[in-house]
Amino acid sequence: MSSMNAQNLLLPPRCSPVVGVAHDKVPATVRSASFDEIPSWATLKCNPSSIKSHRIQQSQVENVHLISLSKQGKLKEIDEFLERMDEAGVPVTPHSYKSLLETCGRLRALSDGRLIHERLRRTVKDPTGFLENYVLQMYCDCRSFADAQKLFDEMLERSLVSWAIIISAYAKEGLLDKAVRLFSHMQRSVSGIRPIPSIYISLFRSLKDSSLLELGKQIHSHVIRNGFGSNVPVDTAIINMYVKSGWLEGAELAFDRMVEKNAVAWTGLMVGYTQAEKLEDALALFAKMVKEGVPMDEFVFSIILKVCGVLEYLNMGRQIHGYSVKLGMDSNFSVGTPLVDLYVKCGSFESACRAFERITEPNDVSWSCIIAGYCQIGEFEESVKIFKSLKSKCVVLNSFVYTSIFQACAALADLNLGAQTHADAIKRGLVSYLYGESAMITMYSRCGRLDYAYRSFESLDKPDTVAWTAIICGYAYHGNATEALRLFNRMWDCGVRPNAVTFIGVLTACSHSGLVTEGKKYLDSMKGEYGVDPTVDHYDCMVDIYSRAGLLEEALELIKNIALYQLHLVKAETARACIPKEFKLVEAFGYTLGGFFLASYDDSPAGVFDELVVIAGLVWNRPTSCAWAAKVLVNSNEACTHGRKEVGLPSQVARISKRITAITRQPKSKDIGFLDVIGMGATFRSRSDHMNVQETEIKGLDTKDTCNINLTTIGPASNYKWKGPAIKMSLPSYSGRTEHNPNLLKYSCQIECRVRAVQPVVVSRPGPKLNNDREHYSVQRSYNVVESTSEEHRDNGENISMSVMLSKPILALEFSCLKMKVEAPIVVFPCSTNS
């Protein structure tokens, strides 16, 4: 039934000239309103009481229909029906006015709302307070604060609800000064009445900046003074306010004081931890939520899975994934999408695909995550295939999807697809202003169209560091060093700070054009002038510059801080002799993994020194296993003192003597021998550097030779890329129970270096003192594997560590361009009187 037909049935029919027409000639529309179909209570033959009852029932029917039109948002039909009600003398009930005003506020129909307000004033002599509040709410919803303020000022009686409506509206709109002024005025004018919680909540929600922290503290104190300190919604708003203002300590304090904590309060504090990059604290808070049985929602899982993704905690993420499956939330896109992102970041792409398949209705963010995952593992064709399939199905996409496809086109050097994707992104308005434009610059430069790349770059009003880096690297990789360096200088003049990748592009440009002096100048000025720490990759570029120019000595000088990490099969009996009883040895078939770490530091807080760390084996201390450092020897008093004071490692001073001798390899073919005869053999022979290291332990005035280590390394003269790939890793270890530190310690070395596998070095027992005579130098060809005995175990650990060094090596890794940071150790087991 249409609304107009309903109106004809509800309202009494108007007088019409067709009343005297025969019944069979009456039109169908008029016949439907015949007297035969009028309800019995509407008959004219009735007493006055029945007429009054009829009017009341009829008024109810019309007002029900009016409310129905209001809920449907049919403002035009409402206006027509109100006119009919006026003609019929049917009054509009307060409940109908409430519904009409709510509809106008929801639809922000200010003109219709004003008409209803005028009608209310005209038809109702003294509107009740609740009707005026709905009018006030309507004006606030329509953002007509002038009308709202006028009505508020004209109100004879302002209830707390009236104050709450207008204060909340000003606060929500960001007009904080007016909201606070009204709040203060309310305190002065409404004496003896406490503000209702909604006023405080609206004020706290409007405080979103650190500059408003003090105001938030004052309102918080006002809450406590008025006795709302145990109100859960108010306390939750306070926590969120402190989080948004950047005062995490205040949020923690407010959270701890809550008697009853809801899920929103837990989630708010968790968001605070993530924003402050206290990700471990966020994980601990989530664990506490699980332990206390706090009800979980999709938002909690979304936050904590993002935390695991940033930290790349795959195992923790899998456990949380299992918990979400148990609660039946993993199929929701708000949980499934962070799961996909987590597995992609942790390199478990198969798990990411399985998590994606579980999402019932993947949204654009879900698709962008899986496409980015394919790009990350190098499956660029697959990402393009998914993109084309989504376009054919008219799936809604976002700018991140197009950015990933730009990266795929750059890797595939597919100019046609890249240009088509660019045009489609412009048509849809989905080119991310900075990230998307930067990806386009890289795509066009790698496809060989530097002119398109430059045009894309020039279209940016304020290019950021990523965009500048993309265009600089584009010219650098095409060998146009002049333009690359000109753009770099222009970038600096524009006030944009370069990053580490920018300097890789600059040094690459210098390398391709043989600009040795310029390259060295940029490398030396990175830290002091630009505030960027040089990394292994920058030194690699500089080595490349020197090597291309034939300056091999300068290239060798750059390769500092060399180390050797050698893994041995150590007998479990030997390792147990020096591992405290608090730890369990990790062994298999009577062996464990030990070895040593030999490093040379040219750039450290303690100056230049060498170090030897003897690793007895692997030990287990829940929940992790680490190496056990049986001995830490350094050849510098300053380094030893620095390590004990600043870091707390149980290091000992030792003398480390080194002698490096270059030995020419003997020819292996008759052809080389013939070249020797004619005097050209040396040109084709490779050289190797043999370094003999002798360790001598020092205790007071006593010295004791520990071992000799013979290393053989190929110098960079034969191949400047000898250093291997750049890596970052952590070497966790346990140590302690020494005279310098009796506690059991756990520490970790964060290492950034280049690494390559080399032949294991030869370790021998203490030999004669080193001197400059070649006759004392000898190269051992076999490993001296020594069985540990009980007598060695009793010798204060020296022979134990020697047995570890002499055990069978299985792997040797050579580190170069080494940068190491030792974290302060944690006391695992404090020293006891029984130890």
pLDDT digit string (tens) for 245-287?
889 999 999 999 888 888 889 999 999 999 988 999 999 999 9
- Of 72-86, 118-132, 277-291, 720-734, give the lowest mean pLDDT range: 720-734
Mean pLDDT for 761-771 is 61
Percent pLDDT > 70 in the chain is 76
pLDDT tens digit string along 375-430?
988 899 999 999 999 888 888 888 889 999 999 999 999 999 999 999 988 888 88
- Final residue before a domain boundary, out of 493, 528, 557: 557
Does residue 654 sit in the same domain as residue 798? yes
CA–CA gap between residue 643 and residue 652 (Å, rounded): 10
Please tell me the predicted confidence (pLDDT) of residue 760: 83
Does residue 797 sit in the same domain as residue 653? yes
Give the best-scoring range by mean pLDDT among 425-429, 533-537, 764-768, 783-787.
425-429
Please tell me the predicted confidence (pLDDT) of residue 443: 92
Do the domain assignments include residue 487? yes
CA–CA gap between residue 391 and residue 555 (Å, rounded): 51
HSE-CB at 755 with a 13 A cutoff on CA atoms is: 15
Mean pLDDT for 365-377 is 91
- The domain of 779 spans 565-659+696-712+721-829
Q: Which two tokens stand for residue 254?
A: 């407010």
Please tell me the predicted confidence (pLDDT) of residue 740: 65
Per-residue pLDDT at 356 exceeds 90 = yes
| 8 Å CB contact between 583 and 628 | yes
Give the total residue count for the chain. 835
Indicate the pLDDT class of residue 305, thresholds 50, 70 and 90: very high
CA–CA gap between residue 811 and residue 757 (Å, rounded): 8
Please tell me the predicted confidence (pLDDT) of residue 503: 93
Do the domain assignments include residue 569? yes
Angstrom distances, CA of residue 799 to CA of 559, 583, 611, 655, 765: 34, 21, 19, 18, 10
CB atoms within 10 A of CB 150: 11
Per-residue pLDDT at 495 exceeds 70 = yes
Indicate the pLDDT class of residue 322, thresholds 50, 70 and 90: very high
Does residue 751 sit in the same domain as residue 734? yes
Indicate the pLDDT class of residue 777, thresholds 50, 70 and 90: very low
Per-residue pLDDT at 680 exceeds 70 = no
Indicate the pLDDT class of residue 9, thresholds 50, 70 and 90: very low
CA–CA gap between residue 139 and residue 133 (Å, rounded): 10
Tell which wins on pLDDT, 3 or 379. 379
Do the domain assignments include residue 578? yes
Do the domain assignments include residue 602? yes
- Final residue before a domain boundary, out of 557, 590, 620: 557
Tell which wins on pLDDT, 127 or 768. 127
Per-residue pLDDT at 39 exceeds 60 = no
Please tell me the predicted confidence (pLDDT) of residue 13: 47
pLDDT tens digit string along 510-524?
988 889 999 999 988
Do the domain assignments include residue 361? no
pLDDT tens digit string along 165-213?
999 999 888 888 899 888 888 887 766 667 888 888 999 988 888 888 9
Do the domain assignments include residue 476? yes
Indicate the pLDDT class of residue 633, thresholds 50, 70 and 90: confident
Per-residue pLDDT at 607 exceeds 50 = yes
Does residue 739 sit in the same domain as residue 825? yes
Q: What are phi and psi of 659, to 5 degrees?
A: -135, 125
Indicate the pLDDT class of residue 787, thresholds 50, 70 and 90: very low
Facing residues of 658 across strands?
693
Per-residue pLDDT at 529 exceeds 90 = no
Tell which wins on pLDDT, 612 or 357. 357
Does residue 494 sit in the same domain as residue 598? no
DSSP alpha helix (H) spans, 393-515: 399-412, 415-428, 435-446, 450-458, 465-477, 481-493, 500-513
Does residue 501 sit in the same domain as residue 552? yes
Number of compact structural domains in the chain: 2
Per-residue pLDDT at 355 exceeds 90 = yes
Per-residue pLDDT at 774 exceeds 90 = no
Does residue 581 sit in the same domain as residue 532? no
Please tell me the predicted confidence (pLDDT) of residue 138: 92
Indicate the pLDDT class of residue 648, thresholds 50, 70 and 90: low
- Of 132-136, 306-310, 505-509, 543-547, give the lowest mean pLDDT range: 543-547
Please tell me the predicted confidence (pLDDT) of residue 714: 38
Mean pLDDT for 472-485 is 91
**Mean pLDDT, the chain, whole residue set:** 78
Does residue 532 sit in the same domain as residue 586? no
Give the best-scoring range by mean pLDDT among 9-23, 105-119, 788-802.
105-119
Please tell me the predicted confidence (pLDDT) of residue 155: 87
Angstrom distances, CA of residue 624 to CA of 281, 564, 585, 744: 19, 25, 12, 15
Indicate the pLDDT class of residue 336, thresholds 50, 70 and 90: very high
pLDDT tens digit string along 683-727?
333 434 455 566 665 655 565 555 666 554 433 333 334 567 777
CA–CA gap between residue 633 and residue 391 (Å, rounded): 63
Does residue 552 sit in the same domain as residue 571? no
Per-residue pLDDT at 770 exceeds 90 = no
Q: Which two tokens stand for residue 512?
A: 């391709």
* Helix (H) and strand (E) counts in the chain: 38, 13
| 8 Å CB contact between 243 and 275 | yes
CB atoms within 10 A of CB 745: 22
Per-residue pLDDT at 302 exceeds 90 = yes
Do the domain assignments include residue 772? yes
Do the domain assignments include residue 7? no
Does residue 735 sit in the same domain as residue 796? yes
Please tell me the predicted confidence (pLDDT) of residue 665: 44
In a 10 Å sphere around its CB, with 0-12 CB exposed, 13-18 middle and 19+ buried, how is residue 390 labelled?
Answer: middle
Does residue 633 sit in the same domain as residue 746? yes
Indicate the pLDDT class of residue 832, thresholds 50, 70 and 90: low
Per-residue pLDDT at 303 exceeds 90 = yes
Please tell me the predicted confidence (pLDDT) of residue 326: 92
Mean pLDDT for 212-228 is 88
Indicate the pLDDT class of residue 357, thresholds 50, 70 and 90: very high
Tell which wins on pLDDT, 188 or 33. 188
- Final residue before a domain boundary, out of 557, 585, 601: 557
Does residue 640 sit in the same domain as residue 753? yes
